[in-house]
Amino acid sequence: MTGTTTRIEVPADSLFGPENLPYGVIAPAGGAPRVGVRLADSVLDLAVLLDDSTFARPSLNAFLAQGPRRWREVRERVQALAESELPAAAVHSLAAVRPVLPIEVADYVDFYASIDHATNLGRLFRPDGEALLPNWRHLPVGYHGRAGTVVVSGTDVVRPRGQRRTESGTPDFGPSQRLDIEAELGFVVGVGSELGRPIPVDDFAAHVFGVALVNDWSARDIQAWEYQPLGPFLGKSFATSLSAWVTPLAALEAARIPLPPQEPEPLPYLRGRESWGLDLELTVEWNGERVARPPYGRMYWSPAQMLAHLSANGAATRPGDLYASGTISGPDRDQRGSFIELSWGGREPVTVKGEARTFLRDGDEVTITATAPGPTGRPIALGEVTGRILPAHNE
């Protein structure tokens, strides 16, 4: 790149064209973290490009709080500028910047919204009973996670230690031996809500800015011992990986589809005029080999219903809140978004690089990507989420 201006050439097959424009936070060499927008294999420094100090910050939170009108104005301006000569100081090579966690995560909630995933786990854990518990079709089941252990894609994950049930029925303590992934879609709240005021299901787009891929790492042996009677705790809270790029809802208009039928009909507070189903296809790679293609379009509960339920009791939301869909799975084996499903509890190993595998070993790396239909007929991509497993600490 030479001179004072430059033009970004977007290849015809790029999944990050001007119809996409995901937001992230990047640290240029020798510079402080700041907000950028990805265009092809470049990043536009918005503080320089728009001469706006809102973007000279180490998170998206201040911009998120400005609301849908401002989100739309910035997106339209960036789209217009992307077609022209740009100040060279505002353009960085994607390879030359370090990605930073894009949001200051205020709160983190994880749902359980895939009927295929819930059915699979029900069959694994309750083979002689009903796969779905009685409440599952009436409300989006979820739990409150740990915001402080959400990490940006590319961050190594240390194998967790905890109590594990043994064959004798009593626990021991040690590194998880059934370490797993959960391929999920996360939703980033922009505009918060007041304590005591639920968010109506049709106000989803007035509060949620965009989506990002999530890998909610899970220690299944720790989880199995601790989750009764209160649910997930240490088996989940050690790490949740988040993509470095947040795709705005505006980029996903062409991906919107109806929800699958919901029977019985949800209670009134979960009924809306807009369904917010999304036609996204994820890919899970284990040590570089594709092992699953989970389809988000089969999700039973919509993100609008999740947000309405999350706040139904009057819980407040804040800019930077993150909630995730739960594992995305489909009805076929190669559509399962967790290794406990792919290996059917460890009884049916998956072949990875010619080797039979069940759960994660130290040194394993998992990468999750996704694509969605774009407005021009070519797909757009969500930013990937990747992580590598390190050995447990011995202390």
Query: Tokens 């409440």 identify what position?
Result: 135
Is residue 110 annotated as involved in ligand binding?
yes
- Is 79 among the annotated ligand-binding positions? no
Residue 321 in marked binding region: no
Radius of gyration of the chain (CA): 21
The answer on whether 66 is annotated among ligand-binding residues is: no
Distance CA 245, CA 108 (A): 17
- Residue 391: both structure tokens together: 């050995």
Nearest to 220 by CA among 189, 177, 188, 253: 177
What is each CA distance from 88 to 35, 50, 59, 120, in whole angstroms?
16, 13, 23, 52
The single residue of 117, 138, 144, 309 carrying the catalytic annotation is 117
Count, in order, helices (H) and strands (E) of the chain. Answer: 8, 28
Q: In this structure, are residues 68 and 206 in contact, taking their beta carbons and an 8 Å threshold?
A: yes
Contact, 107 vs 318, CB < 8 A?
A: yes
Distance, in Å, from the CA atom of 22 to the CA atom of 37, rounded to the nearest integer, reads 6
Phi/psi of residue 88, nearest 5 degrees: -60, -30
Contact 220, 235 (CB under 8 A): yes
Is there a binding annotation on residue 76?
no
State which H helix or E strand residue 248 sits in: strand 245-248
Instruction: With beta carbons less than 8 A apart as the criterion, state whether 94 and 218 touch.
Output: no
- Does the annotation place 227 within a ligand binding site? yes
Of 97, 112, 236, the residue nearest 154 (C-alpha): 97
Cα–Cα distance measured from residue 395 to residue 392, given in angstroms and rounded to the nearest whole number: 9
Q: CA-to-CA distance for 39 and 308, rounded, in angstroms?
A: 33
> Catalytic annotation on 117?
yes
Task: Report whether 378 belongs to an annotated binding site.
Answer: no
Residue 376 known to bind ligand: no
Print burial letters for 185-200: b (CB count within 10 Å at least 16), e (below 16). Answer: bbbbbbbbbeeeebbe
CA neighbor of 282 nearest in space, from 272, 268, 298, 294: 294
AA letter at 262: Q
Q: Which residues are catalytic?
A: 117
Return binding residues for Mg(2+): 216, 236, 240
Return binding residues: 110, 112, 126, 182, 184, 216, 223, 227, 236, 240, 327
Return binding residues for Ca(2+): 110, 182, 184, 216
Return binding residues for substrate: 112, 126, 223, 227, 327
